[in-house]
Amino acid sequence: MIPKIELKKFYTATQAQPHDWLGMHAGTQAKVKGLAVRAFLRDTVACEVVDASGESKTSWPMKALGEGFFEGFIARRKKHFRYMLRATLGNGEVRQFFDPYSFLPTLGAQDLYLFNEGNEHRIYNKLGAQVRNLGGVSGVAFSVWAPSAARVSIVGNFNAWDGRFHPMRPLGASGVWEIFVPGLGEGELYKFELRDQAGNIHLKTDPYGTYFEAPPNNASIVCNPTKHAWGDEAWMKRREEAATKLDRPISIYELHVGSWKRKAGDANRVLTYRELAPELADYLVEMGFTHVEVLPISEHPFDGSWGYQVTGFFAPTQRYGTPEDFAFFVDYLHQRGIGVIVDWVPAHFPRDSFALAEFDGSHLYEHADPRQGAHQDWGTLIFNYGRNEVRCFLIASALSWFDRFHIDGLRVDAVASMLYLDYSRKAGEWIPNKYGGRENLEAIDFLRRTNDLVHHYYPGALMVAEESTAFSGVTKPTKDGGLGFDLKWNMGWMHDNLRYFSKESVHRKWHHNDVTFGALYQFTENFVTALSHDEVVHGKASLLIKMGAYHISEKAAHLRSLYGHMWAWPGKKLLFMGCEFGQSSEWNYTTGLDWRLLQYLDHEGIRLLVRDLNRLYTSEPVLSANDFNSQGFRWVACHDADASVIAYLRSDPFQMTYFLVAGHFTPTQRSGYRVGVPRKGFWREVINTNSQYYGGSGVGNNGGVQAEPIPAHGFEHSVSLTLPPNSTTILKWVQEE
């Protein structure tokens, strides 16, 4: 009853409408009406239809029309009924199972409409591989968006990776293909086999996959990522209560999961998520950090990309465990009072043939024109943010990390490359927007939508931009014309200060502007003062070795003075792992940090200073509540370039608490250096980066100084300070009784 031309399509794997022929359909044979049942089964020599409706125990034999293809006719039965297939395999084994082609689509018209419109925010719960129970039959519903494909099949161990079996059906004009395969469950490996319009075959992993096989096979794995029993209710409640407040301490430890520590004596093995959680939590609590930010843990094939070339936008990488293991990691840190921020990379994706690139034989996720779709710096592809389904995919990726894994924030990578069409391009290598400008209007709209939706669904979540240009309003609310981020990395401060501190002391007076210029724009955005992983790789040297001195002890003193200045400066804090103890070598993603250095005071002293700076920062609201309040900062002395001295005040809006910060960045001691202060009384020394405790010489102000009625720097009172060599001193005004 099936036309030969349609039968041939099954054997040649070109059948694009398998549900029109396979399964149960009304039919006529010898002028008798009834039901036709067809099946295309691998390694099967005989098959019959078994009544599973409970009405009878009848079975009907099916005729083999060719190798593996069977057709049966049930005469004078007009109403479809529940049935199973009983197949005899070539080895004589008999199996009985529900027919995949007997089930209705698992996606509804509303799901598809919202997806095509770009507004199905939970599409990750519908596309991909979803474990379902349909009418008491358990299995996996597979679906994939591939509008230009000529045929799509699901392949895996269950069908010997043969695309002739389990071809999927297209769902109208949505571009989505779907099939429900009974009997499959978690742990099953699979991929999508797509035939494009030119007849080429593409074997692709699931764009919505939640778990993946390790390279080189990279198969998707059926997995329910939401099985973890969470115990972080108290943390999540506190986070929601702080939803609109950024006047709290945020000190972030930036971490690469695979190279923080390695398993001792075990072939340099990486720690798993479960092994890392307690050890890292102990360290972060002791060090006083409030958050950890992990470099991208989304699945990626190449270790050397550090996770920034993503192929699995919904999946924690298998390198360190399962999705449930990652959920345990987040939960454990939450219960220890540590927030978790994840790097997210919606700016580009790699060209790996098994992933998103030319997914269905067309430029589906990326722009076709390389002037829009190719990243020249990284050799990657740029998302087409103007395509509804692509935007839906990326927004869903962002939301899924909050939903499934309770993360506290996303640090969005390479925002600058998204904002500008001419990013890192010469004239003629880019296409202007519809107004003739260089702004990527579609990417800007995407970022605004993403930020608004994250804040809508997850109050208290943080959205952080790594953005290196002067684009206006990155952290301004979208309702006011901004991008809607909560925080932005202060790349300018990072580069200026590292350039300054890398100079030898004798030359710094000619570069004094580097250490003062940041105040001009400090309060234009909600900044994170960051010293990140990007500054300690690719021949840039570690932060310690960057310092403008010759000996490690001198370099350590310079680095301590930089950290003192950094923690006292307005803005939230971020420091990359290893920098907190002044690792000498550049960061190497293939090994653990050089923890043995902590036996030396030059390195242990830096660590102790960072710990004490965090404790000061988190315990003194003046230093965190006024990070974005220009009235909480005032220069006292910023022009003494010859002495390489700066001094500034941090205060609360009511001027009831004051901190005086004095930085001195030459190797000579300066005694009797007079600095104006707004209050008489005692100014207690709370941090001296030259303390012997941190590895310094111990020169300081003997616990504090008394203000004198001597005018200086526009104040009626002043203090006479001893400024140790290469140091930052922080003093707190003690209110007189």
> At residue 488, what are phi and psi to the nearest 5 degrees?
-140, 135
pLDDT of res. 55: 74
User: What is the sign, positive or negative, of the torsion defined by CA atoms of 155, 156, 161, 164?
Assistant: negative
Mean pLDDT score, 184-212:
97
Q: Name the residues annotated as catalytic.
A: 413, 466
- The better pLDDT of the pair 626, 188 is held by 188
Q: Give dist(CA 592, CA 265) in Å, integer.
A: 13
pLDDT in tens, 139-196: 999 999 999 999 999 999 999 999 999 999 999 999 999 999 999 999 999 999 999 9
198 by Cβ neighbours in 10 Å (0-12 / 13-18 / 19+) ranks as: exposed
**At 1, is the pLDDT very low, low, confident or very high (cuts 50, 70, 90)?**
confident
286 neighbors 268 (Cβ within 8 angstroms):
no
Q: For residue 626, is pLDDT > 90?
A: no
Q: 356-384 pLDDT, tens per residue?
A: 999 999 999 999 999 998 988 889 999 99
The radius of gyration of the chain's CA atoms, rounded to the nearest angstrom, is: 32
More confident residue, 432 or 30: 432
Backbone φ and ψ of 472, nearest 5°: -85, 135
Q: Which domains does the chain have, with CATH numbers?
A: 4-102 (2.60.40.10), 109-221 (2.60.40.10), 247-349+388-426+439-489 (3.20.20.80), 627-734 (2.60.40.1180)
DSSP string, 470-507: --TTTTS-GGGTS---SEEE-HHHHHHHHHHHTS-GGG
Indicate if the pLDDT at residue 39 is higher than 80.
Answer: yes
Note the pLDDT of residue 671: 96
- Of the ranges 234-248, 341-355, 422-436, the best mean pLDDT one: 341-355
Q: Residue 662 and residue 316: Cα distance in Å, rounded?
A: 44
Segment 119-140 shows an average pLDDT of: 96
Of 198, 212, 194, 213, nearest in space to 144 by CA: 194
- Using pLDDT thresholds of 50, 70 and 90, give the confidence band for residue 479: very high
Cα 664 to Cα 71: distance, rounded to the nearest angstrom: 88
Paired sense of beta strands 251-255 and 291-294, if any: parallel
Q: Which pair of structure tokens corresponds to residue 569?
A: 């400066």
Q: Is the peptide bond before 459 cis (omega within 30 degrees of 0)?
A: no
User: Whole-angstrom Cα distance, residue 585 to residue 536?
Assistant: 8
CA distances for 277 relative to 92, 117, 297, angstroms: 51, 40, 15
Closest C-alpha to 661, from 730, 724, 609: 730
The two tokens of residue 314 are 């919904």
What pLDDT was estimated at residue 724?
A: 97
SS3 259: helix
In whole numbers, what is the pLDDT of the chain averaged over residues?
95
**pLDDT at residue 93 greater than cutoff 50:** yes
pLDDT tens readout for residues 72-88? 999 988 899 999 999 99
With a pLDDT cut of 90, the percent of the chain lying above it is 93
Specify the pLDDT at position 560: 98
686-700 mean pLDDT:
97
- Confidence (pLDDT) at 737: 45
Do residues 254 and 533 make contact, with C-beta atoms less than 8 angstroms apart? yes
* pLDDT score recorded for residue 265: 73
| Predicted confidence (pLDDT) per residue in 220-275, tens digit | 999 999 899 999 999 999 999 887 788 899 999 999 999 999 987 777 899 999 99
Average pLDDT over residues 33-51: 95
For position 486, what pLDDT does the model report?
Answer: 96
| pLDDT tens figures, 307-328 | 999 999 999 999 999 999 999 9
Go through the chain and tell me how many residues it has: 737
pLDDT at 736 > cutoff 70: no
